[in-house]
Chain A
């Protein structure tokens, strides 16, 4: 949509004005992320660019906020909690979700619409409502587990948060895996069965490798959902399960410290990495299914 050579002056003006408007909107989209990154290297405890930083003076920059993040016990504990909770929740939602997606993609499933609606509902219901419902449910579940099974309070706390996060991740797994299965050639499983493979072998040797990209990207979505989730963990967990986003949330609400910006930068780097992985997987999946030339 280049500008044709016969464009009038008005058209030219509009063409460039439109480009400028779009550029401004893109700046609006990207600036918050771009501002956070350099500010996290601030040598001062300020949330704005110091004169030294603007002069690109090395003295204006430092890694002290990163150092604080890696040495402060509170931040380290919350990082550890996040790294415990998110992977386990992801494993639960991916394993259950993949099985269910395979079941749902078969041709004759009774009540398919209702089942799908129920499985997608954790994504539809606003988080605050899920959190409210879970708050009531998990506090009684926790009490029950503590008094009847004699489990440790802290351990029960982890179970509660992990179960809650697993449910929140399930819709993403279901959506991505069923989307991958749409292109899956069912005759391949029949061919495998024809050659004497039992259903389990067929699943792991034929079906799984082909839908793996979808499963992994569903898993990444589930992981991000848990890793980034605040509201539910705030309601369901106790102080022992403080995750990284929770710690950031408390920091933002109470005494905001520049360490938050260092954490934010690290999270942006992680999300860029994940975005790349998902994109590569999507391309690979399309290639495997012969949907795009390359």
Chain B
């Protein structure tokens, strides 16, 4: 053995050091394994993990106020909600232009609905104001039209504000594009044939801003040519606003005479504060402003607070009004009913598992079919069976009347209440309890019981001191499994639970499909998910996820 004295590296067949060669082979093996897993992993990440993550994100996301009323939120940030003053005129002014655009895009009601979760009455306030905002500009538009009929022509506005050959204010254009995207959630790509003139942005800032956003909206969302179309009433209002302060003396460009004439005419511009107060007197109170300010952050804990019956107020966190507190009750009810269901599954499952584990194999297999058949039967079949059986005119009541146990007019109410949910769900989840218990009990040698008895234990002592402690892992595994499945159940409580027997998941479904309060639904879902994950972590520690067996 001359090799034994050779201290050089061991070489592989191709002459490279064995260590490196092995390392390369291992790396290749790892890569191949990953390549096999990758398609599925990517698929699950995109179609499952990402949606769940975005749901979690949605439970704190709150950009609706800043998307719908960007300039108002900005102006309102300076206002001190604690002071007794109303917000400044500039806030009302920003609100007018923001609200006008939102109303044209029919997005103001969405924000109204969102804020209504926090402050009742905001929804109708927003809806009405959106409708009445047009009136404010009508007078100014009429006066302008009388001064010179050119103002009625869309091309006058276009020529006045389009940069054409002059310098364009591209930043303003981009800001307004993004504003429309944020507001409508739709793409604004496409050629506008317009860029705001930098000179005008300097001279008539409000008009240029209002006109630019109108062009972006009109060209991309309603497919019309802004060059010939007459703009919204908000633009004459903006013009009137600009003409109050701007100095036209140095200006001699497009339509200079028109502007000078309009400035001299003193357009009938009301104060926005008064105009809003006329639309609805609520605007002259601090309430809507406080609500907007409180909920204008991009992220919010508001949905989570709502999920536990609390709410965010300008003064801080407070409980919801008494009559709106239902969710904590529902959480507690979900927990209690899941515990009751788990308990009844243990009570009913234990004897069955014991019987199956102690019968001869052949008989046990036959009886196991009775457990597996319901397990394999469609959930809806079993739920409909319970609905049919528990009805007042159903099979169970009929049998009870026939035996004479209850009178015909005293039929028991067993459905659309907690009893119905508990019975049906115990039945549905029972196999999930029996199967883990059975597999644990199969491993307990029957000789232990015989040994205990031969040492003088009574039947009960032998069972309780010897057999039962060894079957506890089975009970634990089954209980956690049943409990986890129970707290997330939706279908069965929805059908047999009525109003008293529903779970938190039914509330989530309600907020998704009926009340459309998706943020709250996401927050409720996040809380439920966290609870389930903690339980699964416990399950993994106790039993190990790998031991999950099917059928």
> In the complex, what distance in Å separates the CA atom of A230 from the CA atom of B505?
14
> In the complex, what distance in Å separates the CA atom of A27 from the CA atom of B513?
38
> In the complex, what distance in Å separates the CA atom of A166 from the CA atom of B367?
33
Q: A119 contacts B505, CB within 8 Å?
A: no
**Across the interface, which residues of B come within 8 angstroms of A252, CB to CB?**
380, 383-384, 387, 495
**Across the interface, which residues of B come within 8 angstroms of A202, CB to CB?**
none
B309 smallest CB distance to A (angstroms): 20
A121 within 8 A of partner (CB): yes
B532 within 8 A of partner (CB): yes
A88 within 8 A of partner (CB): no
**A106 nearest CB neighbor, chain B only:** B33
User: A25-B352, A99-B39 known; A135 and B525 CB under 8 Å?
Assistant: no
> In the complex, what distance in Å separates the CA atom of A102 from the CA atom of B35?
11
A79 within 8 A of partner (CB): no
B330 smallest CB distance to A (angstroms): 13
Contact of A119 among B29, B44, B348, B387 (CB under 8 A): B44
B164 smallest CB distance to A (angstroms): 33
**B398 nearest CB neighbor, chain A only:** A48
B11 within 8 A of partner (CB): no
A115 within 8 A of partner (CB): yes
**Across the interface, which residues of B come within 8 angstroms of A275, CB to CB?**
369, 372-373, 376, 551
**Across the interface, which residues of B come within 8 angstroms of A128, CB to CB?**
488, 490, 505, 508-509, 525, 528
Stretch at the interface among B51-59, B77-85, B108-116: B51-59
**A8 nearest CB neighbor, chain B only:** B459
> In the complex, what distance in Å separates the CA atom of A211 from the CA atom of B532?
33
A1-43 interface with B by 8 A CB criterion: 1, 11, 14, 18, 21-22, 25-26, 28-33, 35-36, 39
Q: B398 contacts A129, CB within 8 Å?
A: no
Most chain A beta-carbon contacts within 10 A, residue among B40, B380, B513: B40
Contact of B380 among A97, A125, A230 (CB under 8 A): A230
**Across the interface, which residues of B come within 8 angstroms of A260, CB to CB?**
384
Task: Give how many A-B residue pairs fall within 8 Å (CB-CB).
Answer: 261
Q: B528 contacts A136, CB within 8 Å?
A: no
Q: A47 contacts B33, CB within 8 Å?
A: no
> In the complex, what distance in Å separates the CA atom of A248 from the CA atom of B43?
30
User: A22-B352, A100-B37 known; A132 and B377 CB under 8 Å?
Assistant: no
**Across the interface, which residues of A come within 8 angstroms of B391, CB to CB?**
47-48
> In the complex, what distance in Å separates the CA atom of A120 from the CA atom of B522?
22
**Across the interface, which residues of B come within 8 angstroms of A248, CB to CB?**
380, 384
> In the complex, what distance in Å separates the CA atom of A140 from the CA atom of B402?
56
Binary CB contact string for chain B from 265 to 276 against chain A (1 if under 8 A, 0 otherwise): 000000000000
Q: B380 contacts A228, CB within 8 Å?
A: yes
B333 within 8 A of partner (CB): no
**Chain A interface SS verdict (over half):** helix
Q: B44 contacts A249, CB within 8 Å?
A: no
A66 smallest CB distance to B (angstroms): 15
Stretch at the interface among A56-64, A188-196, A263-271: A263-271
Q: A35 contacts B389, CB within 8 Å?
A: yes
Q: B49 contacts A249, CB within 8 Å?
A: no
A145 within 8 A of partner (CB): no
B491 within 8 A of partner (CB): yes
Q: B532 contacts A267, CB within 8 Å?
A: no
Q: A118 contacts B45, CB within 8 Å?
A: yes
A246 smallest CB distance to B (angstroms): 9
B39-76 interface with A by 8 A CB criterion: 39-41, 43-45, 47-55, 58
**B379 nearest CB neighbor, chain A only:** A228
**Across the interface, which residues of A come within 8 angstroms of B30, CB to CB?**
108-110
> In the complex, what distance in Å separates the CA atom of A48 from the CA atom of B398?
8
Q: B388 contacts A47, CB within 8 Å?
A: yes
B427 within 8 A of partner (CB): yes
**A124 nearest CB neighbor, chain B only:** B536
Q: B494 contacts A133, CB within 8 Å?
A: no
A272 within 8 A of partner (CB): yes
> In the complex, what distance in Å separates the CA atom of A170 from the CA atom of B42?
13
User: A35-B389, A230-B491, A267-B378 known; A115 and B41 CB under 8 Å?
Assistant: yes
Q: A1 contacts B378, CB within 8 Å?
A: no
Q: A130 contacts B381, CB within 8 Å?
A: no
Q: A249 contacts B380, CB within 8 Å?
A: yes
Q: A121 contacts B48, CB within 8 Å?
A: yes
User: A133-B52, A268-B377 known; A28 and B427 CB under 8 Å?
Assistant: yes
Q: B37 contacts A115, CB within 8 Å?
A: yes
**Across the interface, which residues of A come within 8 angstroms of B512, CB to CB?**
132, 135, 235
> In the complex, what distance in Å separates the CA atom of A39 from the CA atom of B32?
56
User: A129-B488, A136-B54 known; A30 and B373 CB under 8 Å?
Assistant: yes
Q: B41 contacts A127, CB within 8 Å?
A: no
Q: B34 contacts A231, CB within 8 Å?
A: no
User: A100-B40, A128-B525, A129-B525 known; A48 and B550 CB under 8 Å?
Assistant: no
A91 within 8 A of partner (CB): no
A278 within 8 A of partner (CB): yes
Q: A231 contacts B490, CB within 8 Å?
A: yes
Q: B39 contacts A267, CB within 8 Å?
A: no
B112 smallest CB distance to A (angstroms): 21
B351 within 8 A of partner (CB): yes
Q: A103 contacts B374, CB within 8 Å?
A: no
A261 within 8 A of partner (CB): yes
Binary CB contact string for chain A from 89 to 126 against chain B (1 if under 8 A, 0 otherwise): 00000001101101110111110000111111110111
Contact of B33 among A103, A167, A274 (CB under 8 A): A103
B375 smallest CB distance to A (angstroms): 9
B407 within 8 A of partner (CB): no
Sort A-B residue pairs by CB-CB distance and give the 4 closest, nearest first.
A126-B488, A103-B36, A32-B385, A137-B51
Residue pairs across A and B with Cβ atoms less than 8 A apart, 9 shown, are A36-B388, A47-B388, A128-B508, A129-B525, A132-B521, A137-B51, A166-B47, A235-B512, A256-B384
Residues of A within 8 A of B (CB): 1, 11, 14, 18, 21-22, 25-26, 28-33, 35-36, 39, 46-49, 96-97, 99-100, 102-104, 106-110, 115-122, 124-138, 163-164, 166-167, 170, 172, 175-176, 221, 224, 227-228, 230-231, 235, 245, 248-249, 252-253, 256, 260-261, 264, 267-268, 271-272, 274-275, 278, 282
